[in-house]
Amino acid sequence: MKKPSIMTIIIIICLLIIGLYAMGEVNYFSSKISIERNVEAPTIVIPSIGVQEKINNVSLSQGVFHELDSYNPDSGDVLIFGHRTLQGSPFLRLNDVHIGDSFMLEWPGIGELHYKVVDSFIVPASYELNAQEGGKNVYLITCDPIGSTENRLIVKGELTDTQPINTEIIKNNPQESYGLFLTALFLVFGLIFSFFYPKDNRGYILATVLIITLVLVFFCIFPIPSEIIYEKIILLNGG
């Protein structure tokens, strides 16, 4: 096998970058399994955009995040954050939530809380939204536009009704198999690309694809804190 050509080296670098993004997503979906199986965690349900996810109070990198400086629904306003790009993108379509739409929080120890969207607006990233003690609102917050952190899209929901909690809160991660799916997808496309690559350098591409796939499999089985991988991705993006 000949020494790798300049083009082969460039392609290997591109595969490594793609692999890093894939590692982040695979690790994210695998690490979320423990969060989704925590029946004591609250759940957010937004029917109009197909969101049904557990809420964590650890990190935005673990999915939908409850801002600790805000309140629980029985004490005041609630601030909830979610990504629109990578890390599962739970709030990818938050811009499709309109005034008059309904969403729900299932909050253990409090109940099933129903909200009506009363406002939707975009503000600079520097905007400070202060939760009010005794308030009855929920603010769903994400970045805007997609792929940028320049602004924040905020959807405001007003409490309309509280009922006994639904005993069928999601116990299993509905995205449980996404990590394995992304791993298989990377492997299949990598093998196809390797097959059509010039024979004299094909081995380098194939080896790169297989090594990255093995790393992806590792993260499927042994996920690490998502922040560790996404810190590398942020650096790669110049952040």
In a domain, 173, yes or no: no
Domain that holds residue 111: 40-163
Whether the per-residue pLDDT at 239 is higher than 50: the answer is no
Looking at residue 30, its pLDDT comes to 78
- Select the more confidently predicted residue: 97 or 227: 97
Cβ atoms of 65 and 226 closer than 8 Å? no
| Residue 132 DSSP one-character state | P
CATH assignment of the domain containing 105: 2.40.260.10
Tell me how many domains the chain contains. Answer: 1
- Rounded to the nearest integer, the mean pLDDT of the chain is 84
In a domain, 177, yes or no: no
Q: Which of 11, 28, 37, 65 is nearest to 225 (CA)?
A: 28
In a domain, 143, yes or no: yes
Looking at residue 120, its pLDDT comes to 92
3-state secondary structure of 109: coil
